């Protein structure tokens, strides 16, 4: 007869203990400045250069460096700055002038982005606003970005919304034999992106992310120095494409941790646009920790797509068509990419710095 009051008392104590627990609150910014430097080298070859109408060398060498610095201003505010440089040489763009001396054969792309974020720790929300700039030999681009992130379920669930706008201006460089003969209606291009990402921790070893994106482009969507050759020696023209394009990519990412030291990262992406392209991409990466600082990651990527409505190979377009391109990026294709990466990441980085509390660096 005394058991029931005892059980009731224990339940009351347990309920009181649960009620006294503090509600979950997202973490504030760390006090340390973090700087990451990334370097890459890329080389390619091929024989479908769009500059020469879908034939000719596509040889390219690219050396890229990127510096990303995250500066916590205080617990709630942070500034992320990225600065990048790409130095490249391209045999295909040498052929804009039909000889190996065009300015674009070796050029540099520089870009910078800044993102300011503010956290509301009690609500689990992060707001962001950003600006960007990029320039190359034949174009200049400005961009702006807004973002919102909400986390809940003790940080195991998260949704992120973002929107970007790009304002680009081309320097209209035509193939040498067509200069003073062809023209394009505008040198401007605008792009507007909206993206939503939902992330969920399903278990201690399984994480899921779903994403959807809507991209609308208008203005100059063709490349002024891409040539198109018509059937039966009927001459040539520059590439011409519609002045608007809608892209819809949908993706799923799944990360699995079978045991300590190994991660299985898998990714699938479906893509469709109103140029007539439908694409599927699948990728798997297997990072393996070799110690506290080294990680090796073999990877494989498969991509397949249908051709754009406006694509045809060299010499297969007719001059009666309104839009045409021989750029093999818009052709039907299948590609396999595999390789091996090595990551070196000391636990405390190569240098350390702290930010004082308050609003001062």
Across the range 326-332, mean pLDDT stands at: 96
Across the range 272-299, mean pLDDT stands at: 94
Q: How many C-alpha atoms does 84 have within 13 Å on its Cβ side?
A: 21
Question: Cα separation of 282 and 305, whole Å?
Answer: 12
Return the pLDDT at 84: 97
β partners of residue 303: 281, 335
Return the pLDDT at 353: 56
303 lies in a domain?
A: yes
Return the pLDDT at 92: 63
Q: What is the CATH number of the domain that holds 58?
A: 2.40.160.40
357 lies in a domain?
A: no
| Residues 43-53: tens digit of each pLDDT | 888 888 888 88
Nearest 10 degrees: CA dihedral of 258, 259, 260, 262? -50
Contact assessment for residue 218 and residue 190, using Cβ atoms and an 8 Å cutoff: yes
Among 16-30, 129-143, 313-327, the least confident range: 16-30
Residue 59 has pLDDT above 60, yes or no: yes
| Residues 208-256: tens digit of each pLDDT | 999 999 999 999 999 999 999 999 877 999 999 999 999 999 999 999 9
pTM value is 0.85
Domain holding 198, by residue range, is 30-344
Contact assessment for residue 6 and residue 12, using Cβ atoms and an 8 Å cutoff: no
For the chain, the first-to-last Cα distance in angstroms comes to 67
13 lies in a domain?
A: no
Compute the mean pLDDT over every residue in the chain, rounded to the nearest whole number. 88
| Confidence class for position 349, pLDDT limits 50, 70, 90 | low
Alpha carbon of 121 to those of 74, 118, 240, 360: distances in Å? 13, 9, 51, 20
Say what percent of the chain tops pLDDT 70.
86
Residue 39 has pLDDT above 90, yes or no: no
The length of the chain is: 361
Alpha carbon of 106 to those of 45, 86, 91, 100, 102: distances in Å? 16, 11, 9, 10, 8
70 lies in a domain?
A: yes
20 lies in a domain?
A: no
10 lies in a domain?
A: no
How many C-beta atoms surround the C-beta of residue 124 within 10 A? Answer: 20
How many C-beta atoms surround the C-beta of residue 95 within 10 A? Answer: 23
Return the pLDDT at 317: 96
Q: How many domains does the chain have?
A: 1
Say what percent of the chain tops pLDDT 90.
65
Return the pLDDT at 131: 99
| Residues 69-80: tens digit of each pLDDT | 999 999 999 999
Question: Cα separation of 44 and 53, whole Å?
Answer: 18
Question: Cα separation of 241 and 222, whole Å?
Answer: 5
Return the pLDDT at 346: 80
19 lies in a domain?
A: no
- The DSSP annotation for 155-212 comes to TTEEEEEEEEEEEEEE-----GGGTTT---S-SEEEEEEEEEEEEEEEETTEEEEEEE
78 lies in a domain?
A: yes
Give the residue from 186, 192, 139 showing the smallest Cα distance to 166: 192
Question: Cα separation of 278 and 302, whole Å?
Answer: 14
């Amino acid at each position: 007869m005394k058991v029931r009051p005892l059980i009731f008392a224990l339940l009351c104590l347990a309920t009181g203990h649960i009620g006294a627990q503090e509600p979950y609150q997202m973490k504030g910014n760390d006090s340390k400045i973090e700087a990451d430097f990334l370097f890459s080298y890329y080389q390619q070859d091929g024989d479908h250069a769009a500059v020469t109408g879908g034939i000719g060398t596509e040889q390219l060498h690219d050396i890229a460096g990127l510096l990303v610095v995250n500066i916590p201003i205080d617990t709630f505010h942070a500034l992320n700055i990225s600065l990048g440089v790409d130095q490249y040489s391209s045999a295909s763009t040498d052929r804009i002038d039909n000889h190996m001396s065009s300015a674009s054969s070796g050029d540099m792309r520089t870009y910078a982005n800044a993102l300011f974020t503010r956290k509301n720790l009690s609500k689990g929300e992060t707001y962001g606003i950003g600006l960007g700039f990029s320039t190359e030999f034949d174009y200049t681009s400005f961009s702006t970005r807004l973002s919102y992130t909400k986390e809940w379920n003790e940080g195991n669930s998260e949704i992120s919304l973002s929107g970007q706008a790009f304002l680009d201006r081309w320097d209209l460089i035509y193939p040498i034999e067509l200069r003073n003969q062809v023209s394009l209606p505008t040198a401007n291009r605008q792009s507007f992106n909206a993206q939503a990402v939902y992330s969920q921790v399903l278990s201690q070893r399984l994480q899921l992310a779903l994403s959807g994106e809507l991209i609308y482009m208008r203005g100059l969507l063709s490349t002024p120095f891409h040539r198109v050759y018509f059937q039966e020696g009927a001459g040539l023209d520059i590439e011409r494409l519609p002045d608007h394009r809608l892209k819809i990519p949908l993706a799923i990412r799944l990360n699995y941790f079978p045991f300590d030291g190994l991660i299985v990262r898998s990714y699938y992406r479906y893509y469709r646009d109103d140029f007539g392209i439908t694409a599927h991409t699948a990728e798997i990466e297997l990072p393996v920790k070799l110690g506290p600082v080294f990680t090796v990651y073999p990877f494989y990527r498969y991509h397949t797509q249908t051709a754009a409505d406006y694509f045809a190979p060299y010499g297969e377009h007719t001059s009666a068509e309104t839009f045409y391109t021989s750029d093999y990026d818009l052709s039907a294709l299948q590609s396999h990419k595999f390789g091996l990466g090595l990551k070196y990441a000391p636990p405390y980085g190569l240098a350390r710095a702290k930010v004082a509390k308050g609003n001062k660096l």
